[in-house]
């Protein structure tokens, strides 16, 4: 076993955070997951930080950082910039200590996270189009109003607080071979890295980002922080343009690997977690499973732990996630056909799907089309089917009965 690397945040720092957080944050469960489609039958565990008091892991780092405030700093108050979960963590921890909190969020921040943060008593300032612009404004306000800035990831106390997750994983599953976590600014994975490498554990550590916020891979490759373009991902908790300086130092020394995945795979992962594991995960929380879905080799040589970092999913996203997940699992079939516009013909068309046990989800009956002669209509029907094989059987049943049907691809909506 190689010696533990010298990291800017040490095992002693993480252990001190664990003592300070005991009884103040939830020691979240580590549960065995079902076997997900397309993955090998290897032990996969879920670290359920979505069950944390604010629905996300951010409470750990925020609580530990705010505990370090001097009485004078606590009286003046704190400020933070956040895509959502850090806001909740700072607001909760500040309320618990009686510290005034100001949170700067991007103007397009998740409405549910804005309302939840405000309900915790924080002053909300909406500024900028993304996290980085909100961050710049919060730094300006911190100087102007003499507030202590609580960084979401580039702070040793925040990182140490997040690292307590790593200690819990090692204690609950000493045989763990791989830990996979989503990466935004890197506070979560760098904290886990400090804990795991500090203990001398030879665990494969993997960070996964959305393709629309892919900055860890180039940063590790170049050995420095690489500024990416403006993030484009529904996983708002990971929507940062760059990894933090301190997290990158830890991740480099800790021999972390990085991957990036498509948003539709993240949505499919969120669907599978909800349907099969009964776990509600936001985009950031589902990203580790998305990493396995796109790179099944990461599920080999388990046990593998996926950190479900949060569950604060915007309800308006849920229907889109369900659609993408159902389509990806072959549970939806969309057919198009031309019918004679006479009474009973539509009923005859739909009866074939009914006899095959498929249920109509949507139907579009269009009379006006320049591509059809008078007296014909276009019907497009979306069917709920059991799986891809059932969908193929439904399609075959139409063709066997003489219907000319076209399978319509289920692309982004």
**Residue 343 belongs to a domain with what CATH number?**
3.30.70.260
- Domain boundary, last residue among 307, 326, 345: 326
Q: What is the pLDDT of residues 13-68, one digit of tens each?
A: 999 999 999 999 999 999 999 999 999 999 999 999 999 999 999 999 999 999 99
- Domain boundary, last residue among 303, 326, 349: 326
Same domain, 107 and 43: no
Question: What tokens were used for 307?
Answer: 């950190």
- Model pTM score: 0.91
Give the count of domains, the chain. Answer: 3
Percent of the chain's residues with pLDDT above 70: 96
Give the separation between CA 298 and CA 291, rounded to whole angstroms. Answer: 8
pLDDT score, position 256 = 98
Question: What tokens were used for 256?
Answer: 């972390």
Of 131-145, 280-294, 358-372, the least confident: 358-372
Strands 257-261 and 304-308: unpaired
Indicate the DSSP class of residue 151.
-
The answer as to whether 196 is a domain residue is yes
* Domain interval for residue 135: 60-149
Contacts of 67 (CB under 8 A, 6+ apart): 20, 93, 97
Q: What is the largest CA-CA distance in the chain?
A: 81
Phi, psi dihedral angles at 48 (to 5 degrees): -90, 75
Same domain, 270 and 253: yes
Residue 413 has pLDDT above 50, yes or no: no
Task: Name the pLDDT band for 1 (thresholds 50, 70, 90).
Answer: low
Same domain, 142 and 175: no
pLDDT score, position 375 = 80
Question: What tokens were used for 13?
Answer: 């720092």
Same domain, 166 and 119: no
- Domain boundary, last residue among 326, 356, 374: 326
Give the separation between CA 2 and CA 169, rounded to whole angstroms. Answer: 21
Same domain, 168 and 228: yes
| Phi/psi-derived region of residue 235, left when phi > 0, alpha when psi is between -120 and 50, beta in every other case | beta
Asked whether the beta carbons of 45 and 64 are under 8 A apart, the reply is: no
The answer as to whether 211 is a domain residue is yes
Question: What tokens were used for 72?
Answer: 């004078």
Task: Name the pLDDT band for 389 (thresholds 50, 70, 90).
Answer: very high
Asked whether the beta carbons of 176 and 203 are under 8 A apart, the reply is: yes
Same domain, 45 and 172: yes
Same domain, 170 and 302: yes
pLDDT score, position 196 = 98
Same domain, 206 and 71: no
Give the residues across from 46 on adjacent strands: 31, 306
pLDDT score, position 132 = 81
The answer as to whether 5 is a domain residue is no
Q: What is the pLDDT of residues 108-130, one digit of tens each?
A: 887 878 888 999 999 999 999 88
Give the separation between CA 40 and CA 42, rounded to whole angstroms. Answer: 6
The answer as to whether 250 is a domain residue is yes
Give the residues across from 125 on adjacent strands: 104
**Residue 92 belongs to a domain with what CATH number?**
3.40.50.1100
Task: Name the pLDDT band for 368 (thresholds 50, 70, 90).
Answer: low
Spatial CA neighbour of 401 closest among 363, 365, 352, 347: 352
Percent of the chain's residues with pLDDT above 90: 83
Same domain, 35 and 93: no
Q: What is the pLDDT of residues 293-341, one digit of tens each?
A: 999 999 998 899 999 999 999 888 899 999 999 999 999 999 999 888 8
Spatial CA neighbour of 7 closest among 192, 267, 215: 192
Indicate the DSSP class of residue 47.
E
Q: What is the pLDDT of residues 223-250, one digit of tens each?
A: 999 999 989 999 989 999 999 999 999 9
pLDDT score, position 147 = 98
Q: What is the pLDDT of residues 75-92, one digit of tens each?
A: 999 999 987 899 999 999
Same domain, 203 and 300: yes
Question: What tokens were used for 271?
Answer: 């669907």
Contacts of 116 (CB under 8 A, 6+ apart): 54, 88, 312
Residue 385 has pLDDT above 50, yes or no: yes
Question: Would you tell me the crossing angle of helices 263-277 and 315-328 to the nearest 10 degrees?
Answer: 90
Phi, psi dihedral angles at 187 (to 5 degrees): -65, -40
């Amino acid at each position: 076993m190689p010696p533990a690397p010298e990291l800017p945040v040490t095992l002693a720092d993480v252990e001190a955070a664990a003592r300070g957080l005991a009884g103040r944050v939830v020691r979240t469960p580590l549960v065995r997951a079902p076997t997900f489609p397309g993955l090998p039958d290897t032990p996969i565990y879920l670290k359920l930080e979505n069950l944390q008091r604010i629905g996300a892991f951010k409470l750990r780092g925020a609580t530990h950082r705010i505990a370090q405030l001097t009485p004078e700093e606590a009286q003046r108050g704190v400020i933070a910039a956040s895509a959502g979960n850090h806001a909740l963590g700072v607001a909760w921890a500040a309320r618990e200590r009686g510290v005034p909190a100001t949170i700067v969020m991007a103007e397009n921040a998740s409405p549910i996270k804005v309302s939840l943060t405000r309900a915790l008593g924080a002053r909300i300032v909406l500024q900028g189009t993304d996290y980085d612009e909100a961050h710049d404004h919060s730094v300006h306000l911190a100087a102007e109003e003499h507030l202590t800035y609580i960084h979401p990831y580039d702070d040793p106390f925040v990182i140490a607080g997040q690292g307590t997750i790593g200690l819990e994983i090692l204690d609950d599953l000493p045989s763990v071979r791989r830990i996979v976590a989503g990466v935004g600014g890197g506070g979560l994975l760098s904290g886990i890295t400090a804990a795991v490498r500090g203990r001398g554990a030879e665990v494969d550590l993997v960070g996964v980002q959305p393709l629309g916020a892919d900055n860890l891979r180039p940063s590790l490759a170049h050995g420095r922080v690489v500024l990416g373009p403006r993030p484009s991902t529904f996983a708002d908790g990971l929507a940062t343009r760059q990894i933090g300086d301190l997290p990158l130092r830890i991740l480099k020394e800790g021999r972390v690997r990085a991957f990036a995945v498509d948003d539709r795979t993240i949505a499919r992962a969120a669907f599978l977690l909800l349907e099969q594991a009964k776990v509600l995960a936001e985009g950031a929380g589902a990203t580790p499973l998305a990493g396995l879905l796109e790179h099944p080799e990461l599920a080999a040589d388990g046990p593998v732990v996926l950190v479900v970092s949060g569950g604060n999913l915007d309800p308006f996203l849920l229907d889109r996630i369900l659609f993408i997940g159902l389509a990806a699992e072959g549970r939806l079939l969309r057919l198009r056909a031309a019918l004679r516009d006479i009474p009973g013909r539509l009923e005859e068309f739909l009866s074939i799907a009914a006899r095959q046990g498929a249920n109509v989800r949507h139907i579009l009956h269009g009379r006006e089309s320049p591509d059809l002669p008078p007296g014909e209509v276009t019907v497009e029907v979306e069917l709920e089917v059991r799986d891809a094989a059932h969908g193929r059987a439904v399609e075959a049943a139409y063709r066997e009965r003489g219907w000319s049907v076209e399978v319509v691809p289920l692309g982004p909506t």
